[in-house]
Amino acid sequence: DAKTTQPTSMDCAEGRAANLPCNHSTISGNEYVYWYRQIHSQGPQYIIHGLKNNETNEMASLIITEDRKSSTLILPHATLRDTAVYYCIVRVEIQGAQKLVFGQGTRLTINP
Amino acid sequence: NAGVTQTPKFQVLKTGQSMTLQCAQDMNHEYMSWYRQDPGMGLRLIHYSVGAGITDQGEVPNGYNVSRSTTEDFPLRLLSAAPSQTSVYFCASSYFPSGLASPLHFGNGTRLTVT
C-alpha cells in the first residue's frame, strides 16, 4: 500500500493561498488520492479527491503530478476557519474494504 | 440533513464491561465502516459492511463485533472492554460499489476511555 508523506506543520496568512504538499511515491494505478481535514477532534471532513487529473471544487483544488508520485492541495483564499490538520490519504479497495493509508497530516495554521 | 450520527460522544468503561457504539446515516449509503484513531496511527479499519446483512473484518477486528440489519444503522459492540481499546472511534459511510470514487463521510466520533 502506498504511504503518504506530508510536512508536519505549515503557516499561511489569512486571505492568501495555502499550498499543502503530499508525497505518495509508491502509489499504484488504481489508488485514489483523497484529502480530508480534522478541525479540533471533530470527524474527518472530506475536501477533494483525484486519480490522475487535476480537480477543483468549491473548497479547494487538487494538483496531481503526471507521474502521480505527489500532489498539492490548494486552498485559494485561506480563512481562520481553515486552521486544521490536513490529511493526504491514499485509498485502496481490497475485496470491498475501504482501506485508508494515512500520513501524519499537516497542521495548518492560518494567521490573521 | 444529519449525515452520519454517532452516539454517545463520550464514554468511560471499566475493564471487562461491554457496550455498543451507535452509528446511523440518512444518505442511503450501502457502505458503512468503523475506524479507530490513535495518536500517530492514523485511522485503522475495524469492520465494514457493503449492505444490509453483510459484514466483514478490517485491519483490527479483535474485540469488536458488528451487525447490519438495516441500511441506516451499523452498531459496533465491544464485548469485554480492555484499556487497549481506549481510542476515538469514527463511523463512515459511502456509496457502493462506486467505492473509491465516492467520498467517505465521517461522523464526529465517540471518545472511549477504558480504565
Which candidate in A88, A92, A100, A106 is best for mutational testing of the B interface (most B CBs within 10 A)? A100
Q: Does B21 touch chain A (CB under 8 A)?
A: no
| Least-confidence region, from A55-59, A94-98, B100-104 | A94-98
Q: What percent of chain A has pLDDT over 70?
A: 93
Q: Does B59 touch chain A (CB under 8 A)?
A: yes
Residue from the list B43, B50, B111 with its beta carbon closest to the beta carbon of A102? B43
Q: SS in 3 state form for B47-90? A: EEEEECCEEEECCCCCCEEECCCCCCECCEEECCCCHHHCEEEE
- pLDDT of residue B98 exceeding 90: no
- pLDDT of residue A31 exceeding 60: yes
The mean pLDDT of chain B is 92
Q: Residue B1's pLDDT is what?
A: 63
Q: Residue B54's pLDDT is what?
A: 92
Q: Residue B62's pLDDT is what?
A: 95
Which of A22-26, B1-5, B10-14 reaches the highest mean pLDDT? B10-14
Cell of A33: 488520492
Compute the C-alpha angle A100/A101/A106, nearest 5°.
Answer: 110
The mean pLDDT of chain A is 90
Residue from the list A51, A97, A101 with its beta carbon closest to the beta carbon of B48? A97
- CB distance A97–B58 less than 8 Å? yes
Give the mean model confidence (pLDDT) for residues B7-31: 96
pLDDT tens digit string along B72-81? 999 999 999 9
Give the mean model confidence (pLDDT) for residues B88-115: 87
What end-to-end distance do the CA atoms of chain B give, in Å? 36
What residue of B is the nearest CA neighbor of A42? B108
- pLDDT of residue B9 exceeding 80: yes
Q: Residue B86's pLDDT is what?
A: 97
CA neighbours within 13 Å on the CB side: how many for B69? Answer: 3
Q: Which amino acid is at A3?
A: K
pLDDT tens digit string along A78-107? 999 999 999 998 877 777 666 777 677 899
What strand order describes the sheet that includes B4-7? B4-7, B19-25, B76-78, B64-66
- pLDDT of residue B96 exceeding 80: no
Q: Band the pLDDT of B41: cuts 50, 70, 90.
A: confident
